[in-house]
Amino acid sequence: MSDRFRRLSGRLPLPSRRLALVVGVLTIVGAVALAVGVYIALEPENGTPANGAAVATDGATTGGGNATKAPTASTPSPTHTTTPTPTAPPAPASCTNPAFVTSDPNGGWSTNGYYVHNNMWNVSGYNVRETLSACAYNNWYVTATMDNSRGDGAVKTYPNVHKDYNEPAISSFSSITSSFSETSPHVGIYEAAYDIWLNGVAGNGSTEMMIWNDNYHQVPAGSKQATVTFDGRSYTVWRTGTYIAFVADSTFTSGSVDLLAMFKWLMSKGWLASNSTVGQIDYGFELVSTNGAPATFTVNNFSITSS
């Protein structure tokens, strides 16, 4: 906070000038003390708001949903605290007045049946800054700063939007499709991708299935197992254990994917049990590096349709 003070001076007789000087000094001292007191009361530590509340203006609530993108069986639940950032960069044209802003490593926003999640799940020991700004579940962006100075290629964050399911059987669906549109900067190391949890969410026995639509210098875990075509697009399939990644052979930054067809293909390969269930469907960005400079990643549209 800052307050502007103005001091007026005039051509008064000498005694009056002395009196005016004393009164003026006392007034300034008092005003400064008051400003400092207000600053201390309102200024948050480490850039967080004094009340820890989310910026939400459309009536949606924060919290809810399950955490996403964890490489182990232990996945933390999202916290309900968020951190507006006063120095956030200008929003993309599609989201000029965010209803939700957070720099909290686990900040998230429940809205319209979806959960928008900052999900800085692997930042310990790395120098990472990330702020997520959302106008809606299908209209948000994240600005991140990180590097790969250790050379380990570690994914540090997975900002995403996702939908939770109460473990319905895949066989109970006649269709599951999803549409998306994204914009990314093509700097550093990252990929834009679906991250889908089957048979639970990051638990024992869970299968993690990814669909990489926009890969920039990133390499999936495991090894190449097959090539397959869905909706006229060719994918190379990587696999290790219960992790499977469909990596598009040609980048596409918008479109629709037939998720049910992919699930059934995995079942035909014996990589997914026929009685498997749906736990969570996510879309976002796995970020490794932005070359140490701020970079913005945007979701322009997203939806899931099933029957």
Q: pTM (2 decimals)?
A: 0.74
Q: How far is CA 271 from the centre of its chain?
A: 30
Burial class (CB in 10 A: 0-12, 13-18, 19+), 217: middle
- 113 found inside a domain: yes
Q: How far, in Å, CA of 194 to CA of 211, rounded?
A: 5
Identity of residue 253: T
- 218 found inside a domain: yes
Instruction: Tell whether 146 and 128 lie within a shared domain.
Output: yes
Instruction: Tell whether 30 and 95 lie within a shared domain.
Output: no
Instruction: Tell whether 128 and 239 lie within a shared domain.
Output: yes
Backbone angles phi, psi at 266, to 5 degrees: -60, -40
Instruction: Tell whether 28 and 107 lie within a shared domain.
Output: no
Instruction: Tell whether 166 and 184 lie within a shared domain.
Output: yes
- 59 found inside a domain: yes
Handedness of CA 169, 170, 172, 176 (dihedral sign): positive
Instruction: Tell whether 156 and 117 lie within a shared domain.
Output: yes
- 157 found inside a domain: yes
Instruction: Tell whether 18 and 161 lie within a shared domain.
Output: no
- 7 found inside a domain: no
Instruction: Tell whether 144 and 25 lie within a shared domain.
Output: no
Q: How far is CA 157 from the centre of its chain?
A: 8
Cβ–Cβ < 8 Å for 24, 7 = yes
CATH number at residue 111: 2.60.120.180
- pLDDT, one tens digit per residue, over 131-187 is 999 999 999 999 999 999 999 999 999 999 999 999 999 999 999 999 999 999 999
Backbone dihedral region for residue 153 (phi beyond 0: left; psi -120 to 50: alpha; all else: beta)? left
Instruction: Tell whether 124 and 179 lie within a shared domain.
Output: yes
Report how many domains make up the chain.
2
Q: How far is CA 88 from each of CA 58, 123, 130, rounded to the nearest angstrom?
A: 20, 20, 10
Lowest mean pLDDT among 76-85, 112-121, 274-283: 76-85
> What's the chain's length in residues?
307
Instruction: Tell whether 114 and 209 lie within a shared domain.
Output: yes
pLDDT of 69: 54
- 2 found inside a domain: no
- 201 found inside a domain: yes
Instruction: Tell whether 74 and 114 lie within a shared domain.
Output: yes
Residue span of the structural domain in which 276 resides = 52-306
Backbone angles phi, psi at 298, to 5 degrees: -125, 135
Q: Among 35-39, 43-47, 159-163, name the most confident range.
A: 159-163
- 3 found inside a domain: no
Instruction: Tell whether 28 and 121 lie within a shared domain.
Output: no
